[in-house]
Amino acid sequence: MSIAAHQGELDVHLLGWIKDLLDDLLGLSDWAVVALTGAVILIIPLGLILLYFSQRRRGSYDRAGDES
């Protein structure tokens, strides 16, 4: 069974319920949600890149290959 073969119909009532619930819980405007989502999309890869370069600068990857 493949996920790509799934062709379920869009449940408009469920999406509306989820949107209303999030609006009630968070109290954010539509543009604030867009900005927050965009920030998360940008922060995750930037954080991974910074982590990679900080580990590389410390030499952790070079020493790992020498232990074998």
Taking the C-alpha atoms of residue 27 and residue 21, their distance in angstroms, rounded to an integer, is 10
Structure-token pair, residue 59: 């030499």
Q: What is the band of 43 on the pLDDT scale with cuts at 50, 70, 90?
A: very high
Mean pLDDT of 38-53: 96
Where in the chain are the domains?
Answer: 29-63
Mean pLDDT of the chain: 81
13, 33, 44, 47, 54 from 62: Cα distances, Å: 54, 41, 25, 21, 13
pLDDT digits (tens, 9 = 90+) for 6-38: 677 888 898 889 888 888 888 888 888 889 889
